[in-house]
Chain A
């Protein structure tokens, strides 16, 4: 049975519609690239959530303003990373000006440093894998079942003789712990 291809399946069509300001195209783009951009920005801002959020907003505004048609996904992603780096740099400058002001008058604040990730996803994946290994065995098992064995929460609850709500709460706590650790490690890392 043939399925109708998504109207924005081809990158050239998606980017052409974005360039025209098509709102449906923007929603589709955000769904496809939103998380990926966020990950990139978190690595770029060394795990600073607020800076990453501000840079994300600035990046999306610049996408809306300067959008053009691309023929390949690689070229499009490369262009997005340029916009993201520029946005993170601009946000960093604003923070440095403020930090400089504080430094002169009140406290010593380390100005924002700017990382230069080669591949942000690789960085994040490496950190994730390292931290997964550090989890207690029962938490590792839970994550393994949910994400790498694709079991549903209800199946896991049945196997572990627990409730779905309890399993979901544990997963939430594990994810929060992983997030805090990864972001702290991003901040502590130095890129040469």
Chain B
């Protein structure tokens, strides 16, 4: 240290007094300790991540491990199958359903068809001819509505037919 440095240091000594210097030092050391912990944790996490990565690569390459006897890994994969549990199996029984059979002898087929000649429409004259011998009169109320009235003696009960 030169003479000028010593003089400058003494001149500027009370800019940062001894108690303030101690406080500066304490805060700096606290920060240094904190970052030491942070670096330690970060390094630990990096190592753990690296180890996991290596383990993952090794596990993938080796494949699944056999359960019996710790046999050395082989170049083929063993697939094991197991029977299904009984709850997953659906069974059906013969005769559990009633079967209905049909034959032509038991069935009557009714057919409807358009046929003429099964009935005959009569006109007014033919209707009056049917009641010949009985005094009757046909009264028309409209084109499709008529009334056949039987006439009776004063001592007979008359009847009407529509």
Contacts and interface: CB of A to CB of B under 8 A. Distances in A.
Interface residues of A, number: 34
Contacts, number: 82
Contacts of B39: 21
A27 B21 CA distance: 11
Contacts of A38: 12, 15-16
B35 A64 contact: yes
A127 B106 CA distance: 135
Q: Is the interface of A mostly helix, strand, loop or mixed?
A: helix
A65 B31 contact: yes
Contact of B21 (A34, A65, A175): A34
B58 to A, nearest CB: 33
Contacts of B5: 35
Q: Which of A21, A39, A49, A179 has the largest count of B CB atoms less than 10 A from its CB?
A: A21
Contact of A128 (B4, B16, B32): B4
Interface in B10-53: 10-16, 20-21, 24-25, 27-29, 31-33, 35-36, 39
Contact of A64 (B3, B13, B28): B28
Nearest to A127: B8
B24 A143 contact: no
Nearest to A150: B3
Contacts of B33: 21, 23
Contacts of A18: 32
Given A128-B4, A147-B7, A148-B3, A60 B28 contact: yes
